[in-house]
Structure 1
Amino acid sequence: MNYILKEIKAALSLLSIPEKAVFLPKFFKTGKGEYGEGDQFIGVVVPEQRKVAKEYFSKIDLGELSELLSSEIHEHRLTALFMLILKFEKSKDQTVNDEIVEFYLNHIQYVNNWDLVDTSCYKILGRYAFENQNENLLRKLTDSENMWHKRIAVVGTMYYVKNGFFELTKEFVTHNLHHPHDLMHKANGWLLREMGNKNETELISFLNQYYKVMPRTCLRYAIEKLDESLRQDYLKGRI
């Protein structure tokens, strides 16, 4: 194993908390038939992973990062994604950014739990799609049969929402509004809520069209920040 990988893995191992290593598999649903089936944890909290990523991101290349991101250990993958984000954010070179996005897409099978998705996708794929006017990069993922790909697509539109552009979010939410998995209902509702934070009129318009047919979890997430009386009107179907 390359020395830099040994250092990173050793650093993470030293930060392991045994109680967290026991708790996290349950939290991330790693049991048989659950969405995180087979995922393994060593019990490192996120702030510590961010510190390790900040220390090593400039020292590790994409070839080495590939090995870390393909690890069976969840914290290895998340730390790898933190480093990839830092590389992308610090780069001023379009060629380097192209390579990072290609790397992300080529390793997308390892972005396979909700925190891995939500931490990384809009900061890399979402930003890249927005800045390069390449919505099809995300649109291909929302059409995938893989639930994580669909979540990457809709959460990836967060970068658009933060910049006041909502059409792609509405397109993806509508496309997967009736997806069977609760994690998609939560993601869709979350992005709608973020849209409402930027422009409540946009959210109200979308809700008035779809709220009676959207999954309850999605609706609850979407309306969380609305005035309580309006929330109750939506929950009780009075609009």
Structure 2
Amino acid sequence: MKDNKDKPIFTMTLRSRQKKENEKTIKEKNNENKNNKKVKNIKNKKIGRNKKVKKEESDYESESENYSNGIESDYEYSKENNDDSDSSFETENSRKRKRVKKENININIKKLKKDEELYKFNRNAFSKETPQTVIEIREKLIQGIIPEKKKLLMSYFKTGPGDYAEGDQFFGIPVPGVRSVLKFCKNLDFENLFWLMTSSYHEERMLGAQYMTELSKKLIKEEEKKKRKNNKNTQSYHFILDSINDSLNKYKCHTIPDLIHCLITKKGWKPGERQGWDVLDIEASIKRQEQKFKRLGESRPIFLNNASNNNDNNNKKCKYQYCSNIGITDPIKIQKQILFEYYIECMPWIDNWDLVDLTCRDIIGDFLTELDYEEIKNILYCWLTYNINDQLAGYSRLKIKKDGKNNGIKNTFLNSLEDDTSLTTIWTKRVAIICTFYFINKSDFRYTIYIMEKLLDFNDETIHGPIIPQNLNNNNNNNKKFHDLIEKASGWMLREIGKRDTSCSGKGCKCILKDSNETNNKKNNNSSIFNLYANEKKTLIHFLNKYAWKMPRTMLRYSIEKLPTSSKSTYLNATKPLE
């Protein structure tokens, strides 16, 4: 027991306490070091100040001596620059950079001021005939202008000389800025919409196209509501019908073509000649508006041309009101027909790929479902051929002079290339191709395949123009069959078919076809011929097996995009049909 008392007692401390003690000691040491450094710095500063004061005194004395001796300011200028560099720690390069930055800022400010002066909104610039609602819409559009984007949009949409959008004018407003103005465009009349759709500025035409698409989407929603409620007594949507009836009563017309004829002949309403609204200083834009004005109604289907003759008896009852010449009675379907007819009358001003892609699927595709299969095919084929006067005039000149000598054939062929009829028919062809996207979403592939087969029939002169003579056909690439935009649109639609008919697999692919088609596929697999018009599975693969060897490259690459790599190489290297 005595031994245990002499031994030191065992003590235990936690690690956390040890850490705290060590941290305290470390902090104390650091504080001591900091205090020592501060003291040293203060001493050094005092020493430096004393040195500077001595230097300044010596410099002053030397300067006074130099002045007294008559020495010029070279030494003085160098001395001042050295003193400035010591005080501000700036070199000559940094000074130059600052000067350049200031100059660039001043230049940009001047440019912005000029742009603001150009885009200032003056109500006095407009004529008295312009409606006030249209003036307010432009005032709200101009608030979203970004001057830097004007050149980008002009180059992106090919508005240069010789391009497909030559003469088209832009404000420099992006798409979100245009869509933000749709909130203020509710319940527009067809008169005001005519000013937007026939404007020489691209953004205003886009706004009118988006407004029409929203109206068509609203009609689709109203039709779905009726189906859910089993056609009970519900308030239907009548805004489009009421607005067209008001305008027909105002101008005493029976049809939409007559209404647009009245709007154009009205004083100060002709597109291309509206003061303050259209561009009147640029020659290319003036020519563009004149060409569009000549093409009014040329893309109109035949059954709409005969509308006035068929509705003479009905117009006695309904005084200056819209009546369907097809026999439609449902008000929602009648409103679809109104949008369809109005769109076709304004089709010459839907003159770029973004405007076509916005409107075709909902406005045209939704209405064509009300027609028969053969009527739809006839309308689409007419838009593919687009039998207008200036197109057929080029073909007739060729046919008249083909009977002459060989020299005459070459000259006439070169003259036809200058006209380039494919450029005049881009937009109607693209409308015919992309409006079938509405049917593709409903797993109906017949109309797209009908159009593709007509396009790939290169002997059809109504679509592709006259065939090149054998003397001029030394190179296969001389005869360009398609425009780039038509190849892309056709390949895009084929790719969308592949997403829905189980021929593609990956992101974005949707199989809409039901399992009931599997029995039909088994029957057709046994047979040698596959029916492309039966809306069966893997229609794209069978289409490519049949036509890939003669498809243009951009069209083929767009259609193959979602296929596996092994099948891509087979279709790209195909020289004959694979079935």
Of 139, 144, 151, 1:10 maps to: 139
- 1:139, 1:156 → 2: CA distance? 13
Change (3 A) 1:189 1:47: same
What code does the residue aligned with 2:353 have?
A: W
Q: Distance in 2 between matches of 1:237 and 1:51?
A: 48
Aligned to 2:561: 224
Secondary structure, counterpart of 1:16 in structure 2: coil
Return the offset for 1:227: 1.2
Matched, 1:86 2:328: no
| Residue-by-residue CA offset, 1:87-128 (whole Å, 9 max, x unaligned) | 222235222221111100000001110111111111110121
Aligned to 1:113: 352
Tell me the equivalent position of 1:233.
Answer: 570
Pairs within 5 Å for 1:3-82:
3-53=132-182, 55-82=183-210
Structure 1 residue 141 corresponds to structure 2 residue 383: yes
- Show structure 1 runs of 5+ residues with no match: none
- The question of 1:161 aligning with 2:498 is answered no
Letter in 2 for 1:120: T
Q: CA deviation at 1:52?
A: 1.6
**Deviation readout 1:29-55 (Å, 9 max, x if unpaired):** 1111111111111111112222222x1
Which of 210, 222, 239 pairs up with 2:547? 210
Residue 365 of structure 2 is aligned to residue 126 of structure 1: yes
For residues 185 and 61 of structure 1, the distance between their equivalents in structure 2, rounded to whole angstroms, comes to 37
CA distance in structure 1 between the aligned counterparts of 2:138 and 2:132, rounded to whole angstroms: 10
**Structure 1 residue 131: deviation in Å?**
4.2
Letter in 2 for 1:4: T
The answer on 1:96 being equivalent to 2:338 is no
Report the counterpart of residue 231 of structure 2 in structure 1.
none
Cα distance in structure 2, aligned partners of 1:41 and 1:81: 16
My pick for the range that moved more, 21-30 or 139-148, is: 139-148
Compute the displacement of 1:22 (Å). Answer: 1.1
Give the distance between the partners of 1:173 and 1:57, measured in 2 at CA.
Answer: 38
C-alpha change, 1:57 and 1:101, in structure 2 (3 Å) is: farther
Report the equivalent of 1:186: 488
State the distance in 2 between where 1:57 and 1:138 align: 32
Query: What's the CA shift string for 1:55-93, capped at 9, x where partnerless?
Result: 134321111101110001011101100001112222352
The 2-side partners of 1:88 and 1:8 are apart by 21
Q: Is the 8 A contact 2:440 2:496 kept in 1?
A: yes
Q: Distance in 1 between matches of 2:185 and 2:552?
A: 40
Letter in 1 for 2:363: I
SS in 2 for 1:40: coil
**Which residue matches 2:258?**
none
Q: Whole-Å Cα distance in 2 between the matches of residues 101 and 227 of structure 1?
A: 40
TM-score (normalised: structure 2): 0.40
Distance in 2, matches of 1:187 and 1:166, equals 15
Equivalent residues of 2:380, 2:451 under 8 A apart: no
C-alpha contact (below 8 Å) 1:125/1:138 kept by paired residues: no
Give how far 1:16 is off: 1.1
Gaps of 5+ in 2: 1-129, 220-236, 238-331, 388-424, 459-480, 504-537
Checking the alignment, whether the CA contact within 8 Å between 1:84 and 1:100 is kept in structure 2 is: yes
Aligned equivalents of 1:43 and 1:72: distance in 2?
Answer: 14
Cα RMSD between the aligned structures?
Answer: 1.7
Amino acid at match of 2:366: R
Query: How far apart, in 2, do the equivalents of 1:28 and 1:67 lie?
Result: 22
Counterparts of 1:56 and 1:203, CA distance in 2: 44
Checking the alignment, whether the CA contact within 8 Å between 2:210 and 2:359 is kept in structure 1 is yes
For residues 197 and 9 of structure 1, the distance between their equivalents in structure 2, rounded to whole angstroms, comes to: 41
Provide, for residues 144-176 of structure 1, a one-character-per-residue CA deviation record: whole Å limited to 9, x for no partner. Answer: 152210100000000011110111001112222
Q: Any idea what SS the aligned residue of 2:369 has?
A: helix
Q: Which protein shows a greater Rg?
A: 2
The question of whether the paired residues in 2 share the 8 Å contact of 1:129 and 1:137 is answered with no
Give identity over the alignment, percent: 36
1:6-40 Cα offsets, whole Å, 9 max, x none, are 12111111111111111011001111111111111
The counterpart of 1:175, out of the listed 454, 457, 468, is 454
Equivalent-residue separation in structure 2 for 1:56 and 1:99 (angstroms): 23
